[in-house]
A and B are shown apart, each in its own frame.
Chain A
Amino acid sequence: MTTNDQPLDEILRDLRERAKELTCLYRVDEILHVPDASVGEAMDKIVARIPEGWQYPEECRARITLGDQCFQPLDFEESLWRQEAKIIVEGEPEGLVEVFYTHKKPAADIGPFLEDEQRLINSIAERIGHLLSQERLRSALASWQEATKQTQSVGHHRWKVIVDFLRNADEKLLARITRRMVNHLCWSGYPGSERLLRALGPTVTDPEDSMTAENRPSLRFGPTDATEFTNETFECASLHLSDDEITDCVQRWIREDRTSFLADVLEDPATSIGEVADALERHRALALDPGTLPSPLSTGLKVSLLRRCFTDQVDFINTAKGFVEVEDFHDLLPKVIHPSRSHGKLGGKSAGLFLATQVVRRGQTEESLLQGVQAPKTWYIASDGILEFIRFNSLEDVYVRKYDTIEHVRQGYPHLIQAFKHSAFPPDIRSRLSVALDDLGDRPIIVRSSSLLEDRTGSSFSGKYKSLFLANQGTRTERLAALLDAIAEVYASTFGPDPIGYRAERGLLDVHEEMGIMIQEVVGTKVGDFFLPAYSGVAFSNNEFRWSPRIRRNDGLVRLVPGLGTRAVDRLSDDYPVLIAPGQPTLRVNASVDEIVRYSPRKIDVINLRTNRFETMDVAEILRLCGTDYPHLRRVVSIVESNHLRRPVGLLPDTESADFVVTFDGLLGDTPFLERIRTILQLLETKMGTPVDVEFASDGDNLYLLQCRPQSYSLESSPSPIPRDLPRNQILFSANRFVSNGRVPDITHVVYVDPNRYAELASLELLRDVGGAVRGLNKVLPKRQFILMGPGRWGSRGDIKLGVSVTYSDINNTAVLIEIARKRGNYVPDLSFGTHFFQDLVEAGIRYLPLYPDDPDTVFNEGFLRRSRNLLSDILPECEHLDETVRVIEIPRETNGRILQILMNADIDEAVGVFGSPTESGEEGGRPTSGEPIPESYTPQNHWQWRLRMAERLGMELDGEKFGIAGLYLIGSTKNGTAGPGSDIDLLLHHMGDAEQKRDLKLWLDGWSQSLAEINFLRTGYQSPGLLDLHWVTDSDIERRTSFAIKIDAITDRAQRLVLKGESG
């Protein structure tokens, strides 16, 4: 800060002064915004208030002069010590604000006055000027309407009345209109008009002269008598044009003239959001009928407004300009909170929602299903609010933190949050937030980030910033404090380790990030102590998780949950949303009663109004507490009666005794909900020209849109390019039916269950053993780096011959589940599409792919699968008898170090498994999108390198003799170079000592484990009680090759021996 070398009391005085000035300004603002107050009253009040803002209020007097009117307090006296500012109305000085000191005061910046005081008086004058401009427009409008009425009653020569009126009301306007009339007459080629034109400008009689004179300023004729000229012009016009034509022209030109100020403001890059808002307010006051502006002008205005409020992105503007009107911004900008002189924008999330809302609103006239679809009440803070906040609290240090190491960023982050939370908001923003809070009432609110970088990188980024729910209960002061606290926390999250790390990985660190804020009322109703929507969810135009071949990709997908939508947006590890394809509502993921019940949502997110907190609860608990008060319970639940599921009919049974399960059968069957969602998706997709995903919620009565963005924003659903002209020997398989989008890199192992051999297995035991082998491999093979390829239907129940009998836990580490449909005779069997554990696959992000090797134009490299070396009996010796059927192939070994990549593109319905080079991207996936160098500490390969280093260090410190350790080995992801940020370090300990030694060693290792976990947390943010995963083996294990002992001299994925203390490397 610049005040560093000022003495403390001086700083304090400065601060006091500044506060006084601001208070003064607010008072003036308040006075000016009292509706229906006369100008005179307002000026009297302002004059009384002004002295408060000056250093010596007691001896300070103010006076306002407007034209010939003068406003001053009773005890006013002029003096030598004077300060003034001009009041400008519509570009012309029309008055003066003056401040006097009655006595001499010590010298300050300008005489006895401070520089800040000059600024203050300027602002006051400026505001008065705005008010007067508005007043004038309003009265002009009123008298205009009056005049129009008169002309209608008179019935002829209306233009004369208009011209007379204008002559009295606004001579300058009349001059401009006359000029336009001359142009109009002239361009239409009416006789006599040229003479008028000549009277206006230089004569163009000599073309040569005009040619040679192009570099010289043109000569202009002196002003003729304006009144006469106007009369002449209109007389001329009345010869050629009808009364109606003249009136129409004049009316149009007046209208256009009235909005020109808006265009001027928007086109001037120096104007602030505040000025844009003022101009818009003026525009609103004109109360023009929408559509009266000529289209080029209104398009220009819309484009400028979109650019100023949302983004410079051409695509967005191009789309949006077709669906918004200037009037739509009337309601938006008063709800935007911004610093003075702000040039901020509202951010990506706000933009998406604004556009979607307008599209839906315009669609409502044609489509009755869209009636009632709306967006919740929202306030915004412009993106540079955060900059102002930082400046106001002198937190500028945070800007450079992003270049620090990620460990430091993470370490400092909790402190940074506290620093932000203990900072004050600039008074103007604070007072506007207070207004916002009054507007939003005491309903719960959500504070959401709406960052500018989202525009560039897509939504995968938005999840890195915080969104906070506030119960918004208590006194006004408490509620405001909670809101400010939440905003500060969201601001702090801009500098959190996750977004910083993410930006570093993608080379976006140097990009300037600003954070807009949306303050949105939470959709829902109050039930007992809780506040919750009846249901919420996310809807996608494209269905990337089809569970039946009858579902087409454009049938869409809805993830639906009871309560707040947080549980539908994120993948869940312990629960399931209800999945529906709006285009095929009758084809459900789950068919049997058991499946429906098993995959029904069991938890619910709500806001607890009593504890003021966002909570996750059991659905059963909420139903017990709320009973049948749950909004539209009938549409949400079904009743389970052993093997029967029924929709509640008649009176709802009480929630204590009946067995309810969330199915949404009532909502889907009895209401047009799904059709409405489908209509919205289709409308948005058509109008925005891209598939979208939409977040929504309903309080039971109305449907609210909460967010809308292009679906391609999410990484996993972007189509992978499929390379052409691949040599056949580089392809393991290709597919051209039921393909979804995505890319699965770095597959090192393939588990192939040979369909023909499987069909030939002679006993039930053998068939079951295949399931056992898969179970065993799932435990041992590197997680998410192997794929399972097998015949027919994985996890088949009822008939084991249809597919390998496994449960979800037997396959949960695979990256991709592949089902192979081989032709039998002349028919191709149906595949399961993973239905037996479909929702588990979805939530875990395991991809599914069906293969039809007998289709023409597909590749199925059966030779590779059959001829490659089978590692099954090396890995699972007890499964040796199955090695004709189950084949485990280590891809790098068979292909000179290459790996398998599966590229999937739903747009063209093609997928291919190709051998390629490793991408070195580990579990995180995704490489930097720009060519910028990445700071060392952020690269994914660092996760395993660091772990390897630490494991080696640990070995060097480990006294094998003391603890009875014959060998220490490294296995798993660290050894394989695939460790991600959350991976364990898997150690294999060959122990020969006694129980006491083992206990001591465990203690010793526990210390290491905790320390490493702490360091890893600082590096990555992944929290765990310990980082070491210990596997103990004994001599007899090694001899019998049981459990992990097989790793020690394994053929594939062999354990790596670490050097112990005292051993030589």
Chain B
Amino acid sequence: MTNKNKAYNSFTVAQSQFDRVADMIELDGASRELLRDPLREYSFAIPVRMDSGTVQVFRAFRVQHNDARGPSKGGIRFHPLETQDTVRALAMWMTWKCATLDIPLGGAKGGVVCDPHNLSQREQEQVCRGWVRQVVKNVGPSIDVPAPDVMTSAQHMTWMLDEFETISGSKAPGFITGKPVSMGGSLGRTEATGYGVVFTMREALREMGVRPDKTTASVQGFGNVAQHAIELYDQIGGRVLCVSCWDQQDQTSYAYRKPEGIRLDELRSISDRFGGIDKEKAASLGYERLPGEAWLEQEVDILIPAALENEIRADNVERIHGGVKIIAEGANGPTTPEADLVLRERGTFVIPDLLANAGGVTCSYFEQVQSNMNYYWEKDEVLGKLDVKMTHAFLGVSRLAKQRNLYMRDAAYIIAISRVVQACHDRGWV
């Protein structure tokens, strides 16, 4: 193991990302010191009596990166080889994400080292309850609010909430988000991410002086995010010409194109739960079937990568049509750094994932707000508030980008870090 210390480490990467922005805004040493590492970390053990009668001990973490702007917020992951460093990196990312949206929350992340594939439901419940028992003093509606993440679901959240309420002797639905709607979850969560993408897109077009009903788009993916993005984009008058999706049977992806515009209800009726479109039925409805990557070669105004990471890369970025004005990152990390450089050169307007797909986090925040006041909004109200919040956030980032002639991605980071630093200063921490 000669070059062990050079080995990839996600926390190191997150720190260097921060360092770059810190350099750009000439951040003072103390603030750097404070923000480079988490504010608090908890590491603990959860002993669980297994179904077989034996006891197994699980390692668990909670990292609160920064709570200067409000209670910490972040998911809990069940992962077999969870490391403290991964959790640290993700907690830091949450701080920036909330700050970009100007949501009054800090960033946190937690995890349990376990593989739920090896655990029964009862054992998983014990892990959840054990987790709450160990950190109950350091979490809560006004301290740190967990949420579901990798391999955790609404069910896990409900168990955790029940344990928390049992210990605290009172009802506190605001302790956790991602609950089933019947248990204090928020309406509109299904739509939130897709709609959020279009809210930011709409604002970008407005700034460019282009009417949405004069635009066309091509979408990568046909899952939840993509379908809702298309739904709202349709409503504001845009036309989607092409969508791509994964074909389970052929184990490859295809793009489906209709020059006069795809029809969402029609495609929804011939797609499975995971957004796989039936290729025979699509053909009979007059859709042209192309190789999957054709989605990014279309002559459209907007590209919406809404499924996987690393879809726009150095090897295909050149194939993006010159007429494309906006790329709205509905997926997490769809653009590689190399491709990012090319897009920046070409002057393509990229709405970074940090902003474009933040509808989910925002909706989580709304769930927390509703739970805390124990009063729940109708879906329209949730989505209306989402529009306001996302528009406000977009305008903040884009204004900064224009003023300082910054790439949108950098502007989003800068605005986020600046807001957190400001809060720390206001509190007199640094």
Contacts and interface: CB of A to CB of B under 8 A. Distances in A.
Contacts of B274: 598
Nearest to B151: A592
Given A643-B153, A765-B336, A830 B81 contact: yes
B79 interface: yes
A759 B116 contact: no
Interface string B2-17: 1110111010010000
Interface in A766-810: 766-768, 792-793, 797-802, 808-809
Contacts of A809: 251-252
Nearest to A587: B120
Contacts of A602: 272
B371 to A, nearest CB: 16
Given A589-B117, A643-B178, A760 B154 contact: no
Given A591-B151, A641-B181, A835 B251 contact: no
B190 A761 contact: no
A103 interface: no
A760 B1 contact: yes
Nearest to A829: B81
B7 A799 contact: no
A592 B189 CA distance: 19
A802 B123 CA distance: 23
B8 A762 contact: yes
Given A602-B272, A760-B4, A642 B190 contact: yes
A549 B52 CA distance: 14
Q: Determine the main DSSP class of A at the interface with B.
A: loop
Contacts of A593: 153-154
A644 B155 contact: yes
A646 interface: yes
A644 B153 contact: yes
Nearest to A593: B153
Contact of B251 (A591, A763, A799, A808): A808
B116 to A, nearest CB: 4
Interface string A605-642: 00000000000000000000000000000000000011
Contacts, number: 115
Interface string A177-200: 000000000000000000000000
B25 interface: no
A764 interface: yes
B418 interface: no
A762 B2 CA distance: 12
A833 B81 contact: no
A995 to B, nearest CB: 20
Q: Determine the main DSSP class of B at the interface with A.
A: loop
A675 B259 CA distance: 57
A591 B79 CA distance: 12
Contact of A830 (B80, B83, B155): B80
Nearest to A798: B150
Contacts of A590: 117
Nearest to A808: B251
Interface string B146-163: 001011111100000000
Interface in B215-230: none
Contacts of B2: 760
B3 A642 contact: no
A512 interface: no
B7 A760 contact: yes
B83 to A, nearest CB: 7
B150 A797 contact: yes
Nearest to A767: B8
Q: Which of B3, B7, B151, B178 has the largest number of chain A CB atoms within 10 A?
A: B7
Nearest to A641: B180
Nearest to B190: A642
B271 to A, nearest CB: 12
B273 interface: yes
A812 B10 CA distance: 29
Contacts of A808: 251
Interface in A690-716: none
Contact of B117 (A591, A767, A812, A829): A591
Nearest to B121: A586
B3 A762 contact: yes
Contacts of B6: 760, 762
A378 to B, nearest CB: 37
B180 A573 contact: no
A756 interface: yes
Contact of B249 (A574, A586, A760): A574
Interface string B241-261: 000000011011000000000
A944 interface: no
B284 interface: no
Contacts of A661: 273
A763 B8 contact: yes
A766 B189 CA distance: 35
A250 B237 CA distance: 102
Interface string B112-132: 000111111111000000000
A761 B80 contact: no
A808 B248 CA distance: 10
Contacts of A591: 115-117, 119, 151
A646 B81 contact: no
A829 B79 CA distance: 12
B7 A761 contact: yes
B8 A766 contact: yes
Given A768-B310, A812-B251, A759 B118 contact: no
Nearest to B308: A807
Contacts of A764: 8, 10, 13
B51 interface: yes
Contacts of B121: 586
A830 B8 contact: no
B118 A799 contact: no
Nearest to B115: A830
A547 interface: yes
Nearest to B249: A574
Contacts of B180: 641, 644, 646
Contacts of B337: 765
A802 B8 contact: no
B8 A645 contact: no
Contacts of A586: 51, 120-123
Given A591-B151, A592-B153, A593-B153, A793 B251 contact: no
A643 B148 contact: yes
B110 to A, nearest CB: 13
B348 interface: no
A290 B171 CA distance: 68
Q: Which of A574, A587, A767 has the largest number of chain B CB atoms within 10 A?
A: A587
Nearest to B155: A644
Q: Which of A587, A589, A761, A799 has the largest number of chain B CB atoms within 10 A?
A: A799
A549 B1 contact: no
A548 interface: yes
A763 B189 CA distance: 34
Interface in B152-206: 152-155, 178, 180-181, 189-190
B77 interface: yes
A597 interface: yes
B372 interface: no
Contacts of A829: 80-81
A496 to B, nearest CB: 28
Interface pairs A-B: 6 shortest CB-CB: A586-B120, A644-B154, A591-B116, A809-B251, A798-B150, A835-B117
28 contacts: A548-B117, A573-B249, A587-B119, A592-B153, A597-B273, A602-B272, A642-B189, A643-B153, A644-B153, A644-B154, A644-B180, A645-B153, A646-B180, A759-B1, A759-B7, A762-B8, A763-B13, A764-B10, A797-B150, A798-B77, A799-B79, A799-B81, A799-B82, A799-B86, A802-B80, A830-B81, A832-B80, A835-B117
Interface of A: 547-550, 573-574, 586-593, 597-598, 602, 641-646, 661, 756, 759-768, 792-793, 797-802, 808-809, 812, 829-830, 832-833, 835
Given A641-B154, A760-B1, 5 more contacts: A574-B249, A592-B151, A646-B180, A766-B8, A799-B82
